[in-house]
Amino acid sequence: MTTMTEASVREFKMPDVGEGLTEAEILKWYVQPGDTVTDGQVVCEVETAKAAVELPIPYDGVVRELHFDEGTTVDVGTAIIAVAVGDGEAAAAPQQEVPAAAVPAPAAAPEPRQAEQSAGSGRQPVLVGYGVAASSTKRRPRKGPQVAVPSASAALQSELNGHAPAPAAAPAPAPAAAAAPTGELSRPLAKPPVRKLAKDLGVDLATVVPTGPDGIITRDDVHAAAAPQAPAEQPAPQAPAAPAPVAAAPAQQAAPAAVSFDAARETRIPVKGVRKATAAAMVGSAFTAPHVTEFVTVDVTRTMKLVEELKQDKEFAGRRVNPLLLIAKAFLVAIKRNPDVNASWDEAAQEIVRKHYVNLGIAAATPRGLIVPNIKEAHAQTLPQLADSLSELVSTAREGKTSPAAMQNGTVTITNVGVFGVDTGTPILNPGESAILAVGAIKLQPWVHKGKVKPRHVTTLALSFDHRLVDGELGSKVLADIAAVLEQPKRLMTWA
């Protein structure tokens, strides 16, 4: 009866998008326990490190339980919602097995669920915009005891904590429970990124107390174990001894001290999702690629006149025409004249990879943080096509619907700091790209034009580039060409 009940409840896991992402934050649930769901229905919205996306459920049934609240960050591969399917859904609800389901249920159910997936429609849950990808997060079935659920839970927790199972849980079954999982569960449950973090911090996973679902060790668990550096090197059997609690006490006391600041005048904001990914990417870029930034101040009066003329052109009716459009085109022309700037650095192969295409990134500020979607094959687009691409990119970013694919494989980027009234800046390269152009505010300034001082529209451009790929001469040529096009827009025809 228990087997039939477990088989009738399917756990929908946080999908593995196959893009190197290991976690996602649940932004909003669209269903609640008791709601009926159908195949393909969106049940929640999550935010990965790259974008906010919606998750569709891949089968019909009735929602039995939501495992996590909104605002919770969940590792990929972790069950987030339980759905009762088939004839057993009515009987599944009243069963008082929720506490046991946290650890033992996945131990008994992997084989039936895997059989259903292999014999069923072959469909897998995926994030919207990612496409179907084979899951890389399947964990081997845990060969724990299948009869006594409470003792199995105790044995599993004991194994995960690195201790011998407590015989007091059940006098007779306890030794058998200890014998069965010893060989199989001697390796603590943790995902590869968590294992790498533990290795980098010198933490023995066998000594870490897991707090994740199904006894999985999380990043926070590793950081907590790494706080007292001395006990992290001690053997597992000494963990419950006096030295471990004594060393752990200062770490636990440090946490309240950090929160004891004036809460009325300070706000602590968790760094996660897009902001967390951006922070990590910028640190990695700043300390990996040797940055060089050059500046040029240019008279863009003729460009501003051309913008006004294009707005009246029937080819641009209904299209957004602004200075950024012509700046983007000027950048593309400069890259065409200096193709060596459009490249990337392959550290493993020690090679420079020149790109024969331009995926033009546009830095966009959103409520969730800075993102850099890019226009694919921008070099091949006409000016009206480029206008459409820019308009779609910006509107999608503002709605928070930019797909991760739209932020992949960029080659160069433009960041328009001028919209904030800023004159210029020293932008940091988007990881893996060769150059980034910062555009300052366009202002009327006194300027010498044809021998006389006149008010002209002037802006300052800043080009940062990877000095491994781009030397000073090449970087200067690219920046000078951009400035020349904006000063004399007719070069869009003569140089293009």
Paired strand residues for 345 = 352
Q: What is the pLDDT of residue 460?
A: 97
pLDDT at site 186 = 55
Q: Which pLDDT belongs to residue 260?
A: 61
pLDDT computed for residue 96 by the predictor: 36
Q: Choose, from 163, 356, 457, 467, the residue flagged as catalytic.
A: 467
How far, in Å, CA of 58 to CA of 12, rounded? 8
Question: d(Cα 168, Cα 23) in Å, to the nearest integer?
Answer: 37
Taking the domains of the chain in order of start, what are their residue ranges? 1-139, 275-494
Our answer to whether residue 223 is catalytic in this structure is no
- pLDDT value for 17: 54
> Quick one: pLDDT at residue 242?
45
| CA neighbours closer than 13 Å in the CB half-sphere of residue 123 | 11
pLDDT computed for residue 400 by the predictor: 81
Whether 13 contacts 77, CB under 8 Å = yes
Query: What residues are paired with 401 via a beta bridge?
Result: none
CATH class of 275-494: alpha beta
Work out the percent of the chain whose per-residue pLDDT is above 70: 70
Secondary structure letter of residue 452 according to DSSP: E
Note the pLDDT of residue 116.
43
Residue 353's pLDDT is what? 95
DSSP strand pairing (23-29 vs 52-56): unpaired
Q: Tell me, which fold does domain 1-139 have in CATH?
A: OB fold (Dihydrolipoamide Acetyltransferase, E2P) (2.40.50)
CA distance 266 to 254: 18
Residues 353 and 346 sit within 8 Å (Cβ to Cβ): yes
Q: Which residues of the chain have pLDDT under 70?
A: 1-7, 16-21, 49-50, 87-186, 228-261
